[in-house]
Amino acid sequence: MLRKLAIVLTCFAAVFHATQASATEAKPTAEAAPAAKAEPATEAARPCDSPTGPLGPPSRGAQGMPGALGTCELKPGDWQEGKTTWWLDSDGVKPGVAGCHVGTNDRRQPNNRKFGEGCLFDATVLIESNPDAGELHRHVNDLGHPDLFDCAKWCSGTGKGGGRCVEDSGPPPCAQSAWCRCDR
């Protein structure tokens, strides 16, 4: 009986020490970066440039918006495989505004990476970056999950007639971006 008690106490002490060490390591310091908002788990989605396959659900900013088709998977031209990267969006989910996605570190310091929004499928669909403007967020495996918008449906649903996706100059630092231009 005493031997069993000694084993239990020895195991308890080892588990307690490991738990205490993990808790100590997890404490933020005064130098820690502001916490990024947790993103909901993204369901598997087709690549943005593929016309077939299932899309993920719309982002929280696009939910309920006219013309929102869902999210796709975007691999930047300078993809950093296996790396978690950090980003800020210039405009949030605003299909009527050309936006820019700016790469940063986890402390919001720009790292010279960027990409603008874009048009797909004969200028009928806008690739709209998300989440909210200025919200620091991560891209696991350096893969983004922007929203896709049918521009004609977005324009119609906002009372501006039909419309299409147009590529245009982007807000700095992006040289090029895109937006839904409505007929009226």
What is the mean pLDDT for each group of 10 consecutive residues in the chain (184 residues)?
35 32 33 44 76 94 97 95 97 97 97 96 95 96 97 96 95 97 93
Rounded to an integer, what distance in angstroms lies between the CA atom of residue 120 and that of residue 165?
A: 8
Cα angle 109, 112, 118; round to 5: 115
Domain ranges (residues) in the chain:
68-182
Whether the Cβ atoms of residue 86 and residue 39 lie closer than 8 Å to each other? no
Owner of token pair 């008690």: 5
**Main-chain dihedrals φ then ψ at residue 119, nearest 5 degrees:** -110, 150
The pTM of this model reads 0.76
Q: Is the dihedral of CA 20, 22, 23, 28 positive or negative?
A: positive
pLDDT value at position 184?
A: 86
The pLDDT score that the predictor gives to residue 30 is 36
Consecutive H or E run containing 152: helix 151-157
Q: How confident is the model at residue 16, as a pLDDT? A: 29
Q: For position 78, what pLDDT does the model report?
A: 93
Angstrom distances, CA of residue 12 to CA of 4, 8, 9, 21, 149: 12, 6, 5, 14, 55
**For residue 118, how many C-alpha atoms fall within 13 Å in the half-sphere facing its CB?**
12
